Amino acid sequence: MTTNKYLPGITRDELKTIIKELGEPSYRANQIAEHIYRHRVTDPDKMSNLPQNLRGKLKELFFPFPVAVEECIAAGDQTQKLLLKLHDGNQIEMVMIPTAERMTFCLSTQAGCPVGCRFCASGAAGLARNLSAAEILAELFAGAEIHGSWPDNIVFMGIGEGLLNTGNLFHALEIITGHDYIGMSPRRITVSTSGIVPGIYKLAELGKEFTLALSLHAVNDEIRSSIIPDKLRYPIAEILQAADFYRNTAGRMVTFEYTLLAGVNDSPQDAETLARLANKHHAKINLIAYNPTSDKFKRPTDKVIEQFLHKAESICRNVTLRRERGGGKKAACGQLRLGKIQNDGNLS
Ligand code: SAH
Ligand code: SF4
């Protein structure tokens, strides 16, 4: 007999049912949930207060931990990247980014990405498949094991478009924020989207204060269409309407993510329009200097980046600049996995 389930993501109700079916006392369900969500222990062999035979049964009933750490790579400034292998051989990444005050984990939601933004390594090979809730959570558990505790913040800015995998992402979010589970504040969690309008409304319906990051990258649809293929790209006006709805419902300011691409979206006029748009929609701006993934685009010079920043800051109060560090082959999200695919195992 098997439950066809993984322990990461299992609910307390599911555990109660299974424990009852096994004829075990009901408090065992609580003990197991405490191991998983309080102590971050997902290996039944390490659930020390359970009798041996129950540990054995759990190992038979549940699938083994869904990800294996293939590589752990230092990506500069204490940042660590994990390349994770899924049971079917697909690979994903998670990144641990510490600052002096807090630890942030960056998690993937899909293996590959169907949106295919032209500057992003994650979408270059299309979508392999959605990640299950267990796999999304397993990234968190794998990182927490290395870090020694849950992170302070989580950003869904790894591989994939989470709002095209809402069922599994939302289950993972329930486990991460549920008081009976991991119990993190939704305010410490950022969901980033390329602007999947129905997904933004669904996220708003959850009624929690998640931070929403909108990967805008352009101030009009014409420029945006040169960066993001038509297939899954929504009109900017619809995206901004959904963003307003999100802000009003969740009561949280939205962030506009804006990857600066030389000669494409980095003019002073773009900076001005972006800043006015942010003011109009009460949004913050987060500028990201392009981290080269192909020769289709170039990173603007430092001077152009500074000018863009200053122009935007002169109009909008909430502007930050994220400098992707290193510029090395493995620094940007999705590059590690892409390298593996292209080189068939020989990561350069
Ligand atoms: N699919 C979601 C979340 C993952 S991408 C989204 O697009 O928002 C997370 C962020 O990384 C996005 O804002 C994206 O623009 C940025 N990004 C992707 N590739 C990049 C690159 N090569 N250089 C700089 N930023 C990049
Ligand atoms: Fe997908 Fe986001 Fe990369 Fe676009 S930027 S291809 S939506 S992961």
Residue 255 in contact with ligand 1 by CB distance below 6 A: no
Bin 54: left if φ > 0, else alpha if -120 < ψ < 50, else beta: alpha
Q: Give the separation between CA 286 and CA 316, rounded to whole angstroms.
A: 11
Per-residue model confidence (pLDDT) at position 340? 56
Q: Ligand 1 centroid vs 93 CA: distance in angstroms?
A: 14
Domains annotated on the chain, with CATH: 12-61 (1.10.150.530), 67-344 (3.20.20.70)
Q: Ligand 2 centroid vs 114 CA: distance in angstroms?
A: 8
Note the pTM of the prediction, 2 decimals: 0.94
Closest CA to ligand 1's atom 2: 193
Degrees, nearest 5: CA angle 242-246-251: 155
Q: Ligand 1 centroid vs 63 CA: distance in angstroms?
A: 32
Residue 135 in contact with ligand 1 by CB distance below 6 A: no
- Beta strand 284-289 pairing with 319-322: parallel
Q: Give the separation between CA 131 and CA 4, rounded to whole angstroms.
A: 16
Among 24, 60, 93, 316, the active-site one is 93
Q: In tens digits, what is the pLDDT along the chain, a chain of 348 residues?
A: 688 899 999 999 999 999 999 999 999 999 999 999 999 999 999 999 999 999 999 999 999 999 999 999 987 778 999 999 999 999 999 999 999 999 999 999 999 999 999 999 998 999 999 999 999 999 999 999 999 999 999 999 999 999 999 999 999 999 999 999 999 999 999 999 999 999 999 999 999 999 999 999 999 999 999 999 999 999 999 999 999 999 999 999 999 999 999 999 999 999 999 999 999 999 999 999 999 888 899 999 999 999 999 999 999 999 999 876 544 445 455 565 655 554 433 322
